[in-house]
Amino acid sequence: MAVNIQWFPGHMAKAIRQFEENITLVDVVFEILDARIPLTSMNPEVKRISGDKPHLYIMTKRDLADETRVREWLQYFASINQPAMAVDAKTKFGPNAVLDKVNPILKDKLAREEAKGMKSRPIRAISVGVPNVGKSTVLNRLVNRRAAQVGNRPGVTKGQQWLKSSDKLELLDTPGILWPKFDTQEVANKLALTGAIKENAFSSDDIALYAINRFRETMPEGLMNRYRLTKDDFELSDVDMLLKITQNVGMRDDYLRASDRIILDARAGKLGGFTLDSVADLEANDDTN
Ligand code: GDP
């Protein structure tokens, strides 16, 4: 099927090159994932480029996600020994939570260095993720900017800096931006709905219809309460439901404006928490490989 959403692989090549350079400087990679689309916001290149560097998944936007599914993802990652955590990056999140995950991964490496007589040193990390996933929010929560600059270090590309998170952790100030694997309309819809791709890259009615299609089963109360739908309205097709919502929010027949409203409401969590990727999707993908 043709994918209607445009993206720009030219940026991707440059981003990958820069990430490849930066990876040599760090002990651990924080891949930031969106807890609403943990699989879709993953970039398979990150693992390839990271090679044997340890990798921590930080799933942001837990407060906007479906808690049951988030727990399934955490369990799944634990079952494959993949370090992972899920957070509301805007609150209740800081360096200690990350160090709790990172210390066990790097314990052996640091012990080996100490055994060779090397001075104890902070762990160095870089974060990477798709646009809008929460990279800056994570960085800001981990770093006290005023006290943060560690100064330039050899090897760091001009203009980049290490920021001090704690005595035990330093972060590169420029997170890597990588685009997700982007090969089906379903993936595009998920990215658009969660805000990972630009507004002008898709038509909002397509995305609103996708939201209605997903949420009518999983979050009927959210739709009913927000848009004054009745039980009978759930007999309607997706398109007719969109038209009904358009009327109910007082936009007459301007279904494009109503679509924008639905998308913004979904992103802000006003219809309820949702996670569009399930562990079962991953297993289905694996079967086709
Ligand atoms: P970046 O493009 O990856 O650097 O993403 P930002 O850090 O700029 O975050 C994009 C948007 O998501 C901002 O509006 C953030 O406030 C919001 N955001 C990031 N993390 C969270 C989170 O855990 N929960 C909620 N509710 N919003 C978040």
Q: Where do the domains of the chain lie?
A: 9-177, 185-283
Distance 132 CA to ligand 1 centre (A): 6
Query: Residue 239 C-alpha to ligand 1 middle, in angstroms?
Result: 31
Please work out whether the CB of residue 113 comes within 6 Å of at least one atom of ligand 1.
Answer: no
Residue showing tokens 């001090």: 164
pLDDT tens for each residue of 27-39: 999 999 999 999 9
Q: What is the ipTM of this complex?
A: 0.99
Please give the CATH superfamily to which domain 9-177 belongs.
P-loop containing nucleotide triphosphate hydrolases (3.40.50.300)
pLDDT single digits (tens) 104-155: 999 888 889 989 998 888 999 999 998 899 999 999 999 866 544 555 454 5
pLDDT tens for each residue of 227-254: 999 999 999 999 999 999 999 999 999 9
Residue 218 neighbours by CB under 8 Å, 6+ apart: 66, 274
Render pLDDT for 45-89 as a digit per residue (tens, 0 to 9): 888 899 989 999 999 999 999 999 999 999 999 999 999 999 999
Residue identifier of the C-alpha nearest atom 18 of ligand 1:
134
Residue with tokens 């279904």: 255
Rg (CA), the chain: 21
The dotted CATH code for 185-283 is 1.10.1580.10
Q: What is the structure's pLDDT at 148?
A: 47
Burial 236-245 (b: 16+ CB within 10 A, else e): eeeeebbebb
CB 155 within 8 A of CB 149: no
Q: Are 120 and 169 in contact (CB under 8 A)?
A: no
Going by alpha carbons, the residue nearest to atom 19 of ligand 1 is 134
**Bridging pattern class, strands 28-34 and 123-129:** parallel
Query: pTM to 2 decimals?
Result: 0.92
pLDDT band at 1 (very low <50, low <70, confident <90, very high): very low
